[in-house]
Amino acid sequence: MKFTRRPLAAATVLAGTLALTGCGSNSVFNDGGVAASYKDTTVTTTEVSDAVADIAKAAPDSQFDGQSAVVYMVLGPELDKLAQKYGKAVSTQQARALFPKNMTPSDAAVRTAKGSLEFTSLRGVEAAQTDLINLIQKSDVKMNPRYGTWVKGKGPAAEPVNWIAPSAADAPTG
């Protein structure tokens, strides 16, 4: 199984649109249960944890991370539309087949794998490049800061930032 570390970020760099910014807070994420939302798609922190854990079991050297899982799941429906448009759609069964036969991956891991496969396939279609760039630039993804930030018009930040405020006990004295 092949999961690359940051293919979405690579496409964003290709378009010259990757942002390296700090994060703001968004009250929708205060409870910690929502990882990201976009249009009618919401991804939970549990789904992200499940996807990352299952992918790590299936491909221990992949260094696949939560931000990538968030992006593939939250943009999954849009990636699927583009993949269908360009004849690169991947079925749920095809994505599930990437995992070892003795493993029962979570639905979140399968959705993530499907998004990753479709994105990677679309990157190989020259005609799809403009649509991929437009998707990244026009999407307004609301992302929990523990997984990084999404800057409308630019896409995901390269790395998540420290989203946990230090407690008063952790503050330096003196």
Residue 2 lies in a domain: no
What's this model's pTM, rounded to 2 decimal places? 0.75
Q: Kindly state the percentage of the chain with pLDDT values over 90.
A: 63
Q: pLDDT tens digit string along 31-54?
A: 559 999 999 999 999 999 999 999
Residue 167 lies in a domain: no
Residue 30 lies in a domain: no
DSSP class of residue 128? Answer: G
Categorize the per-residue pLDDT at 63 as very low, low, confident or very high, splitting at 50, 70 and 90: confident
Tokens of 57: 């079991």
Residue span of the structural domain in which 53 resides: 7-18+38-159
| pLDDT the model gives residue 157 | 76
What CA–CA distance (Å, rounded) separates 28 from 105?
28
Q: Please say if the pLDDT value at position 16 is more than 50.
A: no
Residue 118 lies in a domain: yes
Categorize the per-residue pLDDT at 156 as very low, low, confident or very high, splitting at 50, 70 and 90: confident
Residue 23 lies in a domain: no
Tokens of 78: 């849009």
Q: How many domains does the chain have?
A: 1
What CA–CA distance (Å, rounded) separates 127 from 116?
18
| pLDDT the model gives residue 160 | 53
What CA–CA distance (Å, rounded) separates 48 from 71?
10
User: What's the rounded mean pLDDT across residues 73-89?
Assistant: 97
Q: pLDDT tens digit string along 106-148?
A: 999 999 999 999 999 999 999 999 999 999 999 999 999 889 8
